[in-house]
Structure 1
Amino acid sequence: MLTTLPFPVRDANAQSGDIPLEGLPEWDLSDLYASQDAPELSRDMEWLEKACADFAATYQGKLAGLDAAGMLACIEAYEQIDLIGGRIMSFAGLRYYQKTTDADRAQFLQNCQEKITVFTAPLVFFSLEVNRIDDTVLDGWFADNAALARYKPIFDRLRAMRPYQLSDELEQFLHDKSAVGASAWNTLFDETVAGLVFTVNGEDRGLEATTTLLSDKDRATREAAAKEIARVLGENVKLFARIHNTLAKEKEIEDTWRKMPTPQTGRHLANHVEPEVVEALRNAVVAAYPRLSHRYYELKRKWLGLDVMQVWDRNAPLPMEDDKLVDWPDAEKIVMDAYADFDPRMAEIAKPFFTDGWIDAGVKPGKAPGAFAHPTVTNVHPYVMLNYLGKPRDVMTLAHELGHGVHQVLAADQGEMLSSTPLTLAETASVFGEMLTFRKLLSKAKTTAEKKVLLAGKVEDMINTVVRQIAFYDFECKLHAARAEGELTPDQINDIWMSVQGESLGPAFEFMDGYETFWAYIPHFVHSPFYVYAYAFGDGLVNALYAAYEEGYAAFQDKYFEMLKAGGSKHHKELLAPFGLDASDPDFWAKGLSMIEGFIDELEAMED
């Protein structure tokens, strides 16, 4: 954790950039450190260097000989190192995301990352030695010491990597070079994207401000924005192809050395999810394309009065949609009311985000695009980043990110090593919070047109979260498979991109020249390979979970809070069991997808 940029992957439906609103909240990062020159930061950096060296001197080569109490002390020392290193990197990373074009912030982040990579190098032995300990020794420790047994999930995850572990020397080498490997290419990608300039209707804009125009009410503006994105990406496609080629090859080399059977194996292990469960999800969604995206976009084509839709019509507002903006106080009230209606405890947890400087909402030059919630460390609190423009979908993004924040606050009691939720479950509270807010708005709809706009917006978000992300996953699978055969030209990557677009979006669309390069700006492919299926996993899981809530499942709220509090301490099977759900059951995904179908049924019924 400590050796890489703490990049909080941007959410699937986050949109941003256009005319900034006034009076929006900004982060107060002083809960981490007052400034990059704060004496507390220097103190912690010095402490970290000594603590890592002391840890290695105390424990290296001795883990198997410890008793249960000794191993508990070892784990607690490691957790404290994790905490301090995570605090430093969170502060450096969040400052950078506020203004990625600031050279001083970028330098500070890189310097912190390089120092911590050096400091933590002596810790590499830990996971390697743990994986050489006999199972009977571990079982004895857990039987003897309940406090240590709480950390069993950590040992289970480490030992899941045993078949793929390299020699101590090679693991040390990979650790030492991490700061100039993938993370350096990630930084190049971020800085390149942040520096792109798009000119639409005579006005220069950043990427986020330009992609927002793809949902503008004026079709000519949407078309101009799409063509300008294509032009700029086309001019830079060689660099983006180089980044993807290099990262995919680096991953292939490491996977080959580790003898991982597929490029996706590492992600599945990190997510604590079985490959067959992901494959069942993927297959269920692909099979449902005609019933979901194809059917919905055909409806939308008719609403827009078009013979065929262009890519710039995909996120177009409906003709009957009100373009009134939602100011920040109203957005806060909408989301907080929805949370409080579900359970007052949820609103209480969410309140400090608005009152204590835990949200950075404004659109500012150089700010990282999209939206995220970063948990920082368990003895501080999460921070939420938005690019809020007052559009209805921005309100849903606020509900989504606040859900992440609530989840992270609740899981913090697990401690630094057990609080982190695998990606497949990390979207649970966010999507659930979004659904609560959507249902609240839907219940207040006064006209059929208003209800149609809300339903259509929700369906589009769900398609973007489920259909589009599975298409992205297929793109990545094909990209990595093709890269294993050799270097890919930009045209070859473009062809892979287009091979999944028509299949997922359906016959209502026509694809303009230049759309083939739109893979180039998507950060998930660069920062977290194969991350994207987690969105579909989370949406399907929450749809099934919300159905149980609507059906009045006994003590639902209490069980829901217990699930969020578990953080990363339990497997998805154990977390879902209290709700009578099982993600390994093929019917589970069908249940989640049926909710989207039900919304489309309602929209079709409104046409009669």
Structure 2
Amino acid sequence: MEKISYPKVWNLDNVFYGGSKSSQFLDHIKGLEELIHELEGNVESFTSLILTNEISNIVDLVGNVGMIRLHITQANSFITCLLAQNPKDQDAASLRGKVAQKESRFEKILSEIKKILSNTEEDVWRDILETKELEDYKFILNEWRENADSNLSEEELSLISDLMVDGYHAWGHFYRDLVSSISIKIRVDGKEEDLSVGQAINLRSHPEEKVRKEAHNALESIWKEKEELFAKVINHIAGFRIKIHNKYGINNVLENPLKKNRMKEETLNTMWSVISSYKQPFSKYLERKAEMMGDSSMKAYNFWAPVTKNDHEMNYDEAATFITEHIGQFGNELESFVKEAFNENWIEAENRPNKSAVPFCASFPVTGESRVFMTYSGTFIDVLTLVHELGHGFHNYAMNDVEGINKQYPLSIAETASTFSEMIIIDASMKKAKTKKEKIFILDEKLKRSVMNFMNIHSRFLFEQRFYEERKGGIVSPKRLNQLMEQSINEAYGSSLDQPSIYSWVWTPHYYITQSPFYNFPYTFGYLFALAIYAKAKEKGKEFERDYLKLLRDSGSMNVEDLVMKHLGEDITSKEFWEAGMEVCLKDVEEFLELTPG
């Protein structure tokens, strides 16, 4: 078979030509300004419109809001990509500020709209929602009405919105810039190299323990050196959130994250309760893996290491070929999308220093494209990271034909398509495995994901809960942050992880994403939800993709409980749903223990 060569560097010029000096992008910002100005004009007369039931004007307003959101996402995605490929791009940083101002202005107008909706008489509101023209927007309009800031004045809303740009969100941007600027000296294969944080983190799966340990210690050392600075950042982000919560009369730190994820607290509590009762087998897996590596306990820096000799190195072209050959198992559209991403330069995978450390997928909804960013170094983990981000891209693709305001799906669902894509490739690798050693290797990779979702993510959740409670009383010191992190890890892992990184609160970027508090439990939800979807896919085969696309397209206009009930017929507030997913993962543990020496 002829070998295919795929580009490792993305093409952003197809979106906006000229990078951070793009005149085309400046035109996009001008267009965004015009759309916002038009929305402002519509809102000025909106108070009387809602009362006189002039539905066509409401439809126009909803359309304007959706269009503005698409243009803001397009702009933010472009800037995110520019700064990921070159964190020192000052022109891109300047553009980020311009877009942030537009976004802040838009959010103020949207808050006004929500406030008007919340003040509408209940009988008038019911009549409005029953009209055919608003049928597709019923869920979002109700959500706006319920989440309105009706207790705050227009001046207060405006002040909060302004503070978020130069205060709150600025701290999140500062964190990303700070991490991207760090260079770490590590000896790899007998040669000392200057590595980015992303490259250093990638060494956690290096075949040599000496290299893994050195990378772990080097990272811990740099975090210790800068702990005061990072502690200021996380304290300021949390402090701002808490002040806003106080202003709104919110005492439960989970209230906003649950609203953003369109999830009941009952669902979240049930999920964690079931997971907590099923952790013992995963502790046994960690024990066995440690024994195979000659240790009595699983060292944190060995967790990502290959449990057998790594024969699964794949260069980028081999990985792209393998993914495209197997990803279409349940339908042609996912396969076509992935091929387009590889062939049309949508992926930035080059292994080089001075890149951002965080893999991601950026959506460009105006042009109907996505871009995937990562540092590909040839490991099986990299293959799964690549297909994970492509899964996000397919979710974006599925939403192309969905109305503007219904495109925005919650984070809890955002991790579903990505995890589903991973499972396809893990299973394809398992089927391809010819030896016992290969099967053990792949099972280990699969179980790492279970441990990450059931133990690591749980530790993040516990830490964030405890940190926010303590932050209500004032600044939390680096020493105390380390203690909270260590306690949370030990509890979540059942003390089955040795020498954990007490600086996980520093290098886990999710704590610093200002748009999304508690960006931890959505991963675990998405993982188990994807397991349920994958089980259905294996029953239906190629026919499944049609139903899968319907589920993804509904993800922006339903709460998660209703979405799962509609498409899977399952009640996710019940233990049975979560137990079924856990049982699938327990079978992986059993197989691993059977195949490995005790």
- TM-score normalised per structure 1: 0.91
Query: Take 1:181 and 1:334, find their aligned partners in 2: how far apart are those partners?
Result: 45
**Which residue identity does 1:496 align to in structure 2?**
L
CA contact (8 A) 2:101 2:165 kept: yes
Q: In the alignment, which of 10, 28, 39 is matched to residue 55 of structure 1?
A: 39
Mean Cα displacement is larger for which, 471-480 or 156-165? 156-165
Q: In the alignment, which of 528, 543, 563 is matched to residue 575 of structure 1?
A: 563
For the aligned residue pairs, the C-alpha RMSD in angstroms reads 2.2
- Note if 1:238 corresponds to 2:221: no
Q: In the alignment, which of 159, 177, 189 is matched to residue 191 of structure 1?
A: 177
In structure 1, the residue corresponding to 2:87 is in which secondary structure? coil
Query: Take 1:120 and 1:589, find their aligned partners in 2: how far apart are those partners?
Result: 36
Alignment-derived partner of residue 299 in structure 1: 288
Query: Take 1:425 and 1:263, find their aligned partners in 2: how far apart are those partners?
Result: 21
Q: In the alignment, which of 462, 474, 493 is matched to residue 474 of structure 1?
A: 462
CA contact (8 A) 2:329 2:542 kept: no
Alignment-derived partner of residue 318 in structure 1: 307
- Note if 1:253 corresponds to 2:237: no
- How far has the Cα of 1:355 moved from its partner? 1.5
Mean Cα displacement is larger for which, 356-365 or 294-303? 356-365
**Map 1:437-456 → 2, pairs under 5 A:** 437-456=425-444
In structure 1, the residue corresponding to 2:119 is in which secondary structure? coil
Query: Take 1:551 and 1:55, find their aligned partners in 2: how far apart are those partners?
Result: 48
Cα 1:28–1:607, aligned 2, differ >3 Å: closer, same or farther?
A: closer
- How far has the Cα of 1:302 moved from its partner? 1.3
- How far has the Cα of 1:115 moved from its partner? 4.7
Alignment-derived partner of residue 420 in structure 1: 408
Cα 1:124–1:551, aligned 2, differ >3 Å: closer, same or farther?
A: closer
- Note if 1:591 corresponds to 2:580: yes
In structure 2, the residue corresponding to 1:199 is in which secondary structure? strand
Alignment-derived partner of residue 198 in structure 2: 208
Query: Take 2:402 and 2:297, find their aligned partners in 1: how far apart are those partners?
Result: 52
Mean Cα displacement is larger for which, 207-216 or 267-276? 207-216
Query: Take 2:536 and 2:34, find their aligned partners in 1: how far apart are those partners?
Result: 51
- Note if 1:519 corresponds to 2:519: no
- Note if 1:281 corresponds to 2:301: no
Query: Take 1:381 and 1:415, find their aligned partners in 2: how far apart are those partners?
Result: 16
CA contact (8 A) 2:207 2:306 kept: yes
CA contact (8 A) 1:233 1:518 kept: no
Q: In the alignment, which of 79, 84, 91 is matched to residue 104 of structure 1?
A: 91
- How far has the Cα of 1:333 moved from its partner? 2.0
CA contact (8 A) 2:399 2:553 kept: yes
CA contact (8 A) 1:410 1:565 kept: yes
- Note if 1:32 corresponds to 2:15: yes
**Map 1:334-413 → 2, pairs under 5 A:** 334-413=322-401
In structure 2, the residue corresponding to 1:174 is in which secondary structure? helix
CA contact (8 A) 2:364 2:370 kept: yes
Cα 1:165–1:37, aligned 2, differ >3 Å: closer, same or farther?
A: farther
**Which residue identity does 2:222 align to in structure 1?**
V
Cα 1:54–1:213, aligned 2, differ >3 Å: closer, same or farther?
A: closer
- How far has the Cα of 1:88 moved from its partner? 2.4
In structure 2, the residue corresponding to 1:107 is in which secondary structure? helix
Query: Take 2:141 and 2:45, find their aligned partners in 1: how far apart are those partners?
Result: 17
Query: Take 1:520 and 1:244, find their aligned partners in 2: how far apart are those partners?
Result: 8
CA contact (8 A) 2:172 2:237 kept: no
- How far has the Cα of 1:284 moved from its partner? 1.9
Cα 1:365–1:103, aligned 2, differ >3 Å: closer, same or farther?
A: farther
Alignment-derived partner of residue 544 in structure 2: 556
In structure 2, the residue corresponding to 1:181 is in which secondary structure? helix
CA contact (8 A) 2:114 2:148 kept: no
In structure 2, the residue corresponding to 1:375 is in which secondary structure? strand
Query: Take 1:73 and 1:104, find their aligned partners in 2: how far apart are those partners?
Result: 35
In structure 2, the residue corresponding to 1:413 is in which secondary structure? coil
**Which residue identity does 1:372 align to in structure 2?**
F
Query: Take 2:67 and 2:576, find their aligned partners in 1: how far apart are those partners?
Result: 43
In structure 2, the residue corresponding to 1:178 is in which secondary structure? helix
Query: Take 1:51 and 1:259, find their aligned partners in 2: how far apart are those partners?
Result: 33
- How far has the Cα of 1:433 moved from its partner? 0.7
Q: Where in structure 1 are there 5+ consecutive unaligned residues? A: 1-21
CA contact (8 A) 1:268 1:275 kept: yes
In structure 2, the residue corresponding to 1:204 is in which secondary structure? strand
**Map 1:264-275 → 2, pairs under 5 A:** 264-275=254-265
Alignment-derived partner of residue 487 in structure 2: 499
Query: Take 1:506 and 1:24, find their aligned partners in 2: how far apart are those partners?
Result: 44
CA contact (8 A) 2:196 2:357 kept: no
CA contact (8 A) 1:142 1:148 kept: yes
Query: Take 2:477 and 2:352, find their aligned partners in 1: how far apart are those partners?
Result: 35
Query: Take 1:394 and 1:162, find their aligned partners in 2: how far apart are those partners?
Result: 42
**Which residue identity does 1:158 align to in structure 2?**
W
In structure 1, the residue corresponding to 2:399 is in which secondary structure? helix
- Note if 1:154 corresponds to 2:140: yes
CA contact (8 A) 2:440 2:596 kept: no
- 1:471-529, CA deviations, whole angstroms, 9 ceiling, x for partnerless residues? 111110011011112221111110000001122334444327xx322321111011132
In structure 1, the residue corresponding to 2:405 is in which secondary structure? coil
Count of aligned pairs between the two proteins = 582
Alignment-derived partner of residue 5 in structure 1: none
Query: Take 2:392 and 2:134, find their aligned partners in 1: how far apart are those partners?
Result: 28
CA contact (8 A) 2:330 2:544 kept: no
Alignment-derived partner of residue 432 in structure 1: 420
Mean Cα displacement is larger for which, 593-602 or 37-46? 37-46
CA contact (8 A) 1:388 1:394 kept: yes
- How far has the Cα of 1:273 moved from its partner? 0.4
Cα 1:366–1:131, aligned 2, differ >3 Å: closer, same or farther?
A: farther
In structure 2, the residue corresponding to 1:412 is in which secondary structure? coil
CA contact (8 A) 1:378 1:413 kept: no
- How far has the Cα of 1:209 moved from its partner? 1.5
Cα 1:601–1:135, aligned 2, differ >3 Å: closer, same or farther?
A: same
Alignment-derived partner of residue 477 in structure 2: 489
- Note if 1:42 corresponds to 2:39: no
Mean Cα displacement is larger for which, 551-560 or 391-400? 551-560
Query: Take 1:437 and 1:553, find their aligned partners in 2: how far apart are those partners?
Result: 15
**Which residue identity does 1:92 align to in structure 2?**
I
CA contact (8 A) 2:21 2:91 kept: no
Alignment-derived partner of residue 112 in structure 2: 125
CA contact (8 A) 1:301 1:508 kept: no
- How far has the Cα of 1:239 moved from its partner? 0.6
In structure 2, the residue corresponding to 1:569 is in which secondary structure? coil
- Note if 1:80 corresponds to 2:64: no
Cα 1:285–1:571, aligned 2, differ >3 Å: closer, same or farther?
A: same
In structure 2, the residue corresponding to 1:30 is in which secondary structure? coil
CA contact (8 A) 2:551 2:563 kept: yes
CA contact (8 A) 2:171 2:237 kept: yes
Cα 1:541–1:75, aligned 2, differ >3 Å: closer, same or farther?
A: same
- How far has the Cα of 1:336 moved from its partner? 1.7
Query: Take 1:123 and 1:549, find their aligned partners in 2: how far apart are those partners?
Result: 39
Query: Take 2:332 and 2:453, find their aligned partners in 1: how far apart are those partners?
Result: 28
In structure 2, the residue corresponding to 1:382 is in which secondary structure? strand
- How far has the Cα of 1:163 moved from its partner? 7.2
Alignment-derived partner of residue 595 in structure 2: 606
Cα 1:219–1:46, aligned 2, differ >3 Å: closer, same or farther?
A: closer
Cα 1:495–1:120, aligned 2, differ >3 Å: closer, same or farther?
A: closer
Query: Take 1:220 and 1:350, find their aligned partners in 2: how far apart are those partners?
Result: 37
